[in-house]
Amino acid sequence: MKTRHIFGPVPSRRLGRSLGVDLVPYKTCTHDCIYCQLGRTTNLTVECKEWFPLDDIIGELKDKLATRPDWITMSGSGEPTLYSRLGELIARIRSITDVPVAVLTNGSLLWQDDVQSELMDAHLVIPSLDAGDQAMFSAVNRPHPSISFDLMVDGLEAFRKRYRGHFWLEVFILGGHTALRAEAAKIAACAARIRPARIQLNTVTRPPAEDYAAPVNRGRLEEFAGLFTPRAEVIADFREVHAAPEFSATRETVLDLLRRRPCTLEDIAGGLGIHRNEAVKYVEDLLGRGLIVRVDLKGKTCFRAGSKG
């Protein structure tokens, strides 16, 4: 089967209609976050290489530019800074389109000068910071053994000083972990050192890798938002964008499939010929509307239509 590197455009909370670029094989990452919507990391690595030929990615992207996305976003099945030719890829994209380029990264490799250099031409970089000390970092992000909390935060600070594009920070707050004022305050202190232009608080809205990765309600996130400088934004519910006709049509197709039989995310993606990250968005929306439910079948997480669906 041909590997698909480009997905969408899919509605993104922050970036409108975002065309996703997937640069590494599924769950190839420097972290194994307990909240990861893609499941557990199967290739925990810090090896940077050209995981897929750059020309293949560009070729696929050219075909998709007619969809007129708002952003081209490096994200996907793992950590995009593990792609060794990321800087060249961004430069090639900028030579063929005016659509701005964003990179969503876990920030774990930004202490490396060469990784920083690869990101210099991106219009927007959004790293994550989900913990305020080593113990919480280990518990929530379960990083590769070579990555320490201090190294990562120093890297974020160094990159911020050097990078001239837009720099925001995403903070994922988890019930039972960082949803305590003292823990959120520690993250806020680190964020103050890094000095992002915007800080965005997020929480679990999609099925996480571990059941114990618990969501936090909006009111609690709003309380924590005031601890940050600048005040953090709580990433809003995205229902309105999900009401767009192109999104709701495919969502209905996913629901039809789940009315017929329970499916895993891979079944949905494979059955409809869409990227797994796209399937995640439809599942999130259908779960939020109470139209489908999550079930465990033979140890696999599946989804099926619920009584309202």
Collapsing DSSP to helix, strand or coil, 68 comes out as coil
**H or E, element range at 301:** strand 300-305
Contact, 256 vs 309, CB < 8 A?
Answer: no
Count of residues engaged in binding ligand SF4, rule: CB under 6 A: 10
| Nearer CB in complex with ligand SF4: 9/78 | 78
| Nearer CB in complex with ligand SF4: 32/285 | 32
Output the six-digit token pair for 299.
């140890």
Q: How far is the CB of 70 from ligand SF4 (least distance, A)?
A: 22
Residue labelled with tokens 């530019």: 65
Output the six-digit token pair for 217.
């309600």
Q: Which long-range contacts (CB under 8 A, 24 or more apart) does 252-256 make?
A: 254/279, 254/282, 254/283, 254/286, 255/286, 255/291, 255/292, 255/305, 255/309
Residues 62-121 contacting ligand SF4, CB under 6 A: 78-79, 106
Q: How far is the CB of 107 from ligand SF4 (least distance, A)?
A: 9
Ramachandran assignment for 193, one of left (phi > 0), alpha (psi -120 to 50 degrees), beta (any other): alpha
| Nearer CB in complex with ligand SF4: 277/291 | 277
Residues 270-289 contacting ligand SF4, CB under 6 A: none
Q: How far is the CB of 78 from ligand SF4 (least distance, A)?
A: 5
| Nearer CB in complex with ligand SF4: 11/80 | 80
| Nearer CB in complex with ligand SF4: 116/141 | 141
Q: How far is the CB of 291 from ligand SF4 (least distance, A)?
A: 25
Contact, 113 vs 92, CB < 8 A?
Answer: no
* Residue 27 to residue 69: CA distance in whole angstroms: 25
| Nearer CB in complex with ligand SF4: 36/152 | 36
Residues 25-44 as x/- pattern, contact with ligand SF4 by CB under 6 A: ----x-xxx--x-x--x---
What's 98's DSSP letter? -
Output the six-digit token pair for 27.
């769950």
Q: How far is the CB of 207 from ligand SF4 (least distance, A)?
A: 13
Q: Site residues (CB under 6 A) for ligand SF4?
A: 29, 31-33, 36, 38, 41, 78-79, 106
